[in-house]
A = this chain, B = another copy of it.
C-alpha cells in the first residue's frame, strides 16, 4: 500500500467523464445517424464537450468511432477450439458474418472506407481490426494444420485472404448476403483446398 500521496498534477484535472461522455454520445449518435453524418462539432455538442478537448484525444472522427467499436469488439467473435478445424471454422466464420449482419457491418464498412482516404487511420484500423482478426484466424488454421487437417505446405496467409476476402467483398458490395450457406461454402472451400 502506498502511503505517499500521489503528487497531483497542477491545474485542472483531466476529465475522465469527458472521454466517456464522448464515446457514449458517439455510440448513441451512430444509432440514429450514418457514420458519414458525424461531425466533430456535432459530437462535441452531443457529448457536452469542447471541440479542443476532442482534438486533444483523437485526431479525427474515425478514431473516435474505432474506439467505440473496440470497446465492444471482442464480445462478438471469440476463437473457438473444438478440436476439429471444420467446426472451428464454421463457428468462427459464422460468428463473424452474424456480427457483421447484425449491425456492426455498416460501421465496419464505413471504417474500411475511411481507411482508404486517411493513411494514419488506415494503419491503426488495420492493426486494430484487420490484422488482429487475421491473426486469430491464422492461429485457428495453424492448429488445424498441426492436426494434419490441412496440407503441410498450405499457405495460411492466402487461406486467410480466401476467407476474409469474399466476406468483405460481399459486405462492401452487398450483392449477396453473408448467410449460413455462404459460411458453409467458404468453410468447405478452405478445408478442401488447404
Contact = CB atoms under 8 A, between A and B. Distances in A.
Interface in A91-123: 109-110, 112-117, 122
A185 B169 contact: no
A175 B132 CA distance: 12
Contacts of A113: 112-117
A162 B166 contact: yes
A36 interface: yes
Interface string A16-42: 000000000000000000111000000
Work out how many copies of this chain go into the complex. 4
A151 B176 CA distance: 22
A12 to B, nearest CB: 11
Contacts of A158: 166, 182, 185
Contact of A165 (B34, B116, B168): B168
Residue among A36, A116, A131, A170 with most chain B CB within 10 A: A116
30 contacts: A36-B117, A109-B116, A110-B117, A112-B116, A112-B172, A113-B113, A113-B114, A113-B116, A116-B172, A126-B174, A126-B175, A130-B175, A131-B175, A134-B175, A155-B185, A158-B166, A158-B182, A161-B165, A161-B169, A162-B166, A162-B189, A164-B169, A165-B167, A165-B168, A165-B169, A165-B170, A166-B166, A168-B168, A169-B169, A192-B193
Given A165-B167, A166-B166, 4 more contacts: A112-B116, A165-B166, A165-B169, A168-B172
Interface of A: 34-36, 109-110, 112-117, 122, 126, 130-131, 134, 155, 157-158, 161-162, 164-170, 172-176, 182, 185, 189, 192-193
